[in-house]
Amino acid sequence: MDRRSFLSDIGITLAVACTGCLAACSKGGTNGPTPPPQGVNFSLDLNTTLQNIGDSLVKSGVIIVRLAAGNDPSSFTAVQAACTHEGTIIGYNTGQGIFICPLHGSEFSKSGTVLVGPASANLRSYTISVVGETLTITG
Ligand code: FES
């Protein structure tokens, strides 16, 4: 192989390698959308958790927030914890009464409706029931 052929072959190889690298790099750094949890069914003891308005916790991929006093299902909300944009765990902002994603700033209502993008899909919400001091999340 002469020098010109060698350099030509190397150039083609590098071009192919760079194309593959760019394709991989364009996907890097993001988790992508996360499917919402299915078949959720767990209970929490309200004597020991979610006692104050604004308290929240994440369990089994669901974020549960106490919105009001009293142990009534309407005192709580439960939605998927992973942002529908790229899967970052959202947080509840008590002052604004909304969920906010810390990565790109998407905002969701208490029930999971998209208010501000870049997320375009609503959060999945879950069924809440309360019996005595036991809160159960299903869905
Ligand atoms: S991951 Fe991008 S807004 Fe949530």
| Ligand 1 pocket at CB < 6 A | 83, 85-86, 88, 101, 103-104, 106, 118-119
Judge whether 55 and 91 are in contact, CB under 8 Å. Answer: no
- Region of poorest pLDDT, from 10-19, 56-65, 115-124, 125-134: 10-19
Query: What pTM was computed for the model?
Result: 0.77
pLDDT digits (tens, 9 = 90+) for 50-75: 999 999 999 999 999 999 999 999 99
Reported residue count of the chain is 139
At 106-124, the pLDDT tens digits run 999 999 999 999 999 999 9
The ranges assigned to domains in the chain are 1-30, 41-138
Which mutation among 63, 84, 85 tests ligand 1's pocket best, with the greatest number of atoms within 8 A of CB? 85
* Contact by Cβ (8 Å): 92, 63: yes
Please enumerate, as own/partner, the contacts of 99-108 that have beta carbons within 8 Å and a separation of 24 or more.
99/63, 99/123, 108/79
Identify the CATH homologous superfamily for domain 41-138: Rieske [2Fe-2S] iron-sulphur domain (2.102.10.10)
